[in-house]
Amino acid sequence: MFGRWLGNRTNRAQRTSPLAALTVPPSAGVLSCRVLDPVNEPVRGAEFAVSDVMGRKVVGGGTDPFGSFMAAVPAGDYRLAVSAEGYAPYRVSTTVTESGHASLGDVTLQVTPPPQLPRPGDWEIEPMHSSIAFTARHIGLARIHGRFNTFAGALRVAERIEQSAMHVVIDASSIDTNVKMRDDHLRSADFLDVDRFPTLEFYSERFVHKGGNRWAVTGALTLHGVTRTVTLDAEYLGLGNGMEGETRAACRATVELHRDDFTVSWQTMLAKGIAVVGSSVKIELDVQVVPKG
């Protein structure tokens, strides 16, 4: 009786072992760790990447809701990198043996201070080192990339950054996909109708800190004569100095727009019912601002 009980207990332990969930070839082993913050709470969704001695990525992914990850890899020497929003990257070397389990235990990430914000006052977009680009689907397969070549913008930074304001004006006729015939069509009444609506404008008075260097910038976008509220998903990159010692602040931002929301609804279909132009457009901004004047 006791033998059967001990045997069943052993079988249960084997079934619940974390290694039982992995199929590990004889020439491989297992690498694992748990990622914690400075107060020992798990960091879910932290990104990890395992690279070999040549720097080639072998496996990567994100931690589970408990901050853990486990991966089967060929036996050998590896470099593990762990990163998460708002934390300093963590790197360590380890060796995985055949049929072995290389557990790094608990890895504690250290909080990184957010980048210094721009000082209060008036700033303006520096167009030579900024870009406003877009991506649209074509025939349901490929992506067409383009940009606006002419734009200007002003940023008024308040004492409380959340109360700042921004105004950007884009010359609609400066749209550029590197194909003249397509650009002429995009400028026509089928799309932007630049003769009637020569500019696109974005105005915002709502800056919301989402943690770390992430911000949400919500405002009114006027495109094709229609105004809609949109929110930019922004990443603030911090302050730096240009070639002449001038102070610069930089950020990246993205937003997805649906053409029908702005009555830019021209469409034609292929024989198989596939739209020539996708219904949404992804906007990507890389912006540097400098103090005005």
Give the pLDDT of the chain (293 residues) as one tens digit per residue: 444 444 444 444 444 455 556 677 888 999 999 999 999 999 999 999 999 999 999 999 999 999 999 999 999 999 999 998 888 899 999 999 998 999 999 999 998 877 888 999 999 999 999 999 998 875 556 788 899 999 999 999 999 999 999 999 999 999 998 989 889 988 988 888 999 999 999 999 999 998 778 899 999 999 999 999 999 999 999 999 887 888 999 999 999 998 888 887 655 534 444 344 567 789 999 999 999 97
CB 170 within 8 A of CB 199: yes
* pTM assigned to the model: 0.68
Please give the backbone phi and psi of residue 227, each rounded to the nearest 5 degrees, phi first.
-110, 130
User: Torsions phi, psi of 80, nearest 5?
Assistant: -105, 130
Give the neighbor-by-neighbor strand order of the sheet with 28-36.
68-74, 28-36, 101-108
- Give the pLDDT of residue 21: 60
Distance CA 14, CA 6 (A): 12
The answer to whether the beta carbons of residues 276 and 270 sit under 8 Å apart is yes
Cα dist from 89 to 35, 76, 240, whole Å: 12, 23, 21
> What are 158's two structure tokens?
């308040």
The one-letter amino acid code at 273 reads G
CA angle 17, 20, 24 (to 5 degrees): 135
Q: Residue 210 has what pLDDT?
A: 87
